[in-house]
Structure 1
Amino acid sequence: MKVNTGHLTYCTNIHPGKNWNDDFTALKDNFSFIKESVSPGQPLGIGLRLSNVSSLELSEQGNIAEFKHWLKENNAYVFTMNGFPYGEFHRTVVKEDVHTPDWTTEARKDYTIRLFTILQSLLPEGMVGGISTSPLSYRHWFKTTTDFTEAKNAATINIVAVIKALVTIANATGTVMHLDLEPEPDGIIETGREFIDWYTDDLLPTAISDLVDSFGITAIEAEALTKRHLCLCYDVCHFAIGYEDHADVLKELKEKGIAVGKIQISAALKANMDQSPDQRIAIKESFQKFNEPTYLHQVVALKRDGKLIRYTDLTPAIADFEHQDVMQWRAHFHVPISVQDIGVLQSTQQDIIEVLNLQKVAPFTEHLEVETYTWEVLPEQLKIPIAASISNELEWVIKTNV
């Protein structure tokens, strides 16, 4: 739906599905309730998530035509997609395999280009489309500096191949789309600082050289095209986990001419650890309730000296719970954004409010997507029917006056 600062939607990765039939069924079962709740009088956008299998099935002409007809009949549109998870994303152990296959592979490149082909056919005329993607790979798969660097370089080359495909599509059809790289804890790129450094030191030199050779354009034109087609996915949960200063990150991005393609509106778990022994026991017990086996729930701890300790999951973090120098924990668990207090724990909701206020004062993207995908693994006290849950999330954002 159109709000003051852009187009607001929710990501359909909240729905379980192994194939396009499952995905389409989930939309049919839930979308009408959500639209009637939050956008009865105007079109409502959909942030579409397709697995590799689903993308292959939807690419079939009959399925595309049927889905486009359904979108028209339901006053819905697709302007953004989530291309981060390639395979199954629910009811199976995902963990670090959410990065599989990573950007060092042809499979990831081909999947992403296929998603853009689908998005081009679904985009309303005149709209710019975007697809978020993984931060190149999972950093702990690479045990040496050489392996890490080689993986980053190989991934960058495949990212550039997608940029070239997007330039070709724009030249042929006039449709502009961008790939939005999403920093995440333990990704090869996990912070705003790492994204900006990779963009300026690795991506731009590689892309400019390739685009100049491929399209016969100047280096200035090649840089402009790179910046048009490769953007940042600003997942608020991920930036909050790293205790990043949102205003500073956005200011530097603007100074360097690097665009934000999408805000993913999401919240992490947090707790202040400077508490009495009884309160700390309650905090530990509460985090244990979120220690489920499906997804990675990385923890970043803030020490008294301002330094950070990074844990690869809740299990090793809980094992080190008695660390006396730690003042705060933030955990990668996408909790409902409309909730601030979760028993003795809190959410990073205030970070969302800060980012949306920055967006309100000086809009830096047109795409806003609520992404709370953990409904099935939430503790029972946080669960309400899924369509009502999505509606609550969207209504909370609308009331925040975006």
Structure 2
Amino acid sequence: MRFRHPDGSTVHLAYCTNVHPAETLDGVRAQLRDHCEPVRRRLGRDRLGIGLWLARDAARTLINDPAELRALRSELDSRGLEVVTLNGFPYEGFGADEVKYRVYRPDWTEPDRLAHTTDLARLLAALLPDDATEGTISTLPLAWRTPYDGDPEAARTARSALTTLAQRLDALAEMTGKSIRVGLEPEPGCTVETTADAIPPLTDVGHDRIGICVDTCHLATSFEDPTTALDALTAAGIRIVKSQLSAALHAEDPHLPEVRTALAAFAEPRFLHQTRTSTAAGLRGTDDLDEAVAGRALPDSTPWRAHFHVPLHAPPAPPLTSTLSVLRDTLARLVGGPAPLTRHLEVETYTWQALPAELRPRTRTQLADGIAAELTLARDLLVDLGLKELP
């Protein structure tokens, strides 16, 4: 979906396909057929943007076979789909029964992360619509905090890898005329947990093609104020490459037994749901929701937020809610001003099948309806901010 900003630029809205993970190219094609095109049809659109997730094996197939890459581009066109952004955070196995800490490997100290991200940049340059010259990729925020934190050699290795990536992106732009940028995506528990954490390493890299991806669920989970966070990035000269529109789980009164019971329903074995609370002494947290619910690992006199991407249009029932207000405030700062701070927006709710059983979609039709409803909400927010939806 495309929108015209009042300054005349085009803002793209997509939804991320990691909600239907596939490890192979055949699986990606099935996503387009069984999920992405049906969502487009529900929205009544001739064209729909998708934030494609390409696992390592699918990406390597496309890199090694130019005919397959051309065929994928042709299939996107025939199904009314377009790609200006990729999700490069998960490397592989995102559809496994247990993902948890595995999603953070390989990290930016390991050669496979640089190689995979380089592949994704080359693929995105080939998949961009004919009238688009800019593409974006979100990626791991360097590494999970252990054993990375406190290891100066790890920091040097990651910085070197990102510098090499920037040089490769420059060369790709020279060769193709397509400008691809990569954004670190701060996430609770990682060495870059907050937008403030991102400023020093990105300043060290010091290249326009390496910036930040602002995920509004992660921003909210860490209790960051959107205006303060985005203004600090702008002041530091950090490019906001893209933003993922998502909402976290919020519990206002975690000391109440009924709230603990409601939260426990969202603790599940597949994904990590880092949980945070903001106290007078600073941010406190656990690596997963079940740790917070089970004992006294977190103070319960202040609200809790959990890294659980809940559907944008369907917040959980009381006594819980979502952080949709943080998304609204972030979006207003990103695209509500005289010029957009980013032109690539991506709805990313990958946890539909991790929701409590009674909230999960039971059919492809129900899932498509839910994704279409999320995109409709995002579209309405953009229109309310003065953007004009384009055909």
Query: 308, 313, 325: which one pairs with 2:283?
Result: 308
Q: 1:382 is matched by which residue type in structure 2?
A: L
- Measure, in 2, the Cα distance between the counterparts of 1:258 and 1:397: 25
Instruction: Name which of structure 1's ranges 339-348 and 185-194 shifts more when overlaid on structure 2.
Output: 339-348
Query: 229, 240, 252: which one pairs with 2:232?
Result: 252
Partner residue, 2:2 = 2
Indicate if the aligned counterparts of 1:52 and 1:86 stay in contact, CA closer than 8 A.
yes
Partner residue, 2:51 = 47
User: How many residue pairs get matched?
Assistant: 370
- Measure, in 1, the Cα distance between the counterparts of 2:276 and 2:300: 13
Query: 349, 364, 367: which one pairs with 1:386?
Result: 367
- Measure, in 2, the Cα distance between the counterparts of 1:171 and 1:63: 24
- Measure, in 1, the Cα distance between the counterparts of 2:111 and 2:96: 27
Given the alignment of the two structures, is residue 287 of structure 1 paired with residue 263 of structure 2, yes or no? yes
Partner residue, 1:203 = 205
Q: 1:345 is matched by which residue type in structure 2?
A: L
The answer for unaligned runs of 5 or more in structure 2 is 6-10, 384-391
Given the alignment of the two structures, is residue 38 of structure 1 paired with residue 43 of structure 2, yes or no? yes
Superposed displacement of residue 32, structure 1: 2.3
- Measure, in 1, the Cα distance between the counterparts of 2:15 and 2:309: 13
Q: 1:348 is matched by which residue type in structure 2?
A: T
Query: 109, 112, 115: which one pairs with 2:117?
Result: 112
- Measure, in 2, the Cα distance between the counterparts of 1:25 and 1:163: 33
Superposed displacement of residue 112, structure 1: 0.5
Query: 223, 240, 246: which one pairs with 1:266?
Result: 246
- Measure, in 1, the Cα distance between the counterparts of 2:315 and 2:16: 21
Taking the TM superposition and a 5 Å limit, the aligned residue runs for 1:90-239 are 90-125=95-130, 126-142=132-148, 145=150, 147=151, 149-200=152-203, 202-204=204-206, 226-227=207-208, 229-239=209-219
Indicate if the aligned counterparts of 1:302 and 1:326 stay in contact, CA closer than 8 A.
no
Indicate if the aligned counterparts of 1:83 and 1:133 stay in contact, CA closer than 8 A.
yes
Supply the RMSD in Å over aligned alpha carbons: 1.7
Matched residue SS, 2:136: strand
Superposed displacement of residue 122, structure 1: 0.7
Share of identical aligned residues, percent?
34
Indicate if the aligned counterparts of 2:144 and 2:190 stay in contact, CA closer than 8 A.
yes
- In the superposition, the TM-score normalised over structure 1's length comes to 0.88
Q: 1:3 is matched by which residue type in structure 2?
A: F
Partner residue, 1:26 = 31
The answer for unaligned runs of 5 or more in structure 1 is 205-225
- In the superposition, the TM-score normalised over structure 2's length comes to 0.90
- Measure, in 1, the Cα distance between the counterparts of 2:157 and 2:218: 24
Indicate if the aligned counterparts of 1:16 and 1:91 stay in contact, CA closer than 8 A.
no
- Measure, in 1, the Cα distance between the counterparts of 2:28 and 2:221: 30
- Measure, in 2, the Cα distance between the counterparts of 1:339 and 1:23: 27
Q: Structure 1 residues 395 and 26 mapped into 2: Cα distance closer, same or farther (>3 Å)?
A: same
- Measure, in 2, the Cα distance between the counterparts of 1:46 and 1:325: 39
Q: Structure 1 residues 23 and 343 mapped into 2: Cα distance closer, same or farther (>3 Å)?
A: farther
Q: Structure 1 residues 306 and 339 mapped into 2: Cα distance closer, same or farther (>3 Å)?
A: farther
Indicate if the aligned counterparts of 1:271 and 1:345 stay in contact, CA closer than 8 A.
yes
Query: 363, 380, 384: which one pairs with 1:399?
Result: 380
Q: 2:301 is matched by which residue type in structure 1?
A: V
Give structure 1 regions of 4+ aligned residues with deviation exceeding 6 angstroms.
none
Superposed displacement of residue 172, structure 1: 2.1
- Measure, in 2, the Cα distance between the counterparts of 1:121 and 1:81: 12
Partner residue, 2:349 = 372
- Measure, in 1, the Cα distance between the counterparts of 2:44 and 2:51: 15
Superposed displacement of residue 324, structure 1: 5.3
- Measure, in 2, the Cα distance between the counterparts of 1:188 and 1:194: 8
Matched residue SS, 1:85: coil
Kindly provide the CA deviation profile for residues 308-347 of structure 1, in whole angstroms up to 9, marking residues without a partner as x: 2111111221233485563110001111011234331111
Partner residue, 1:210 = none
Partner residue, 1:212 = none
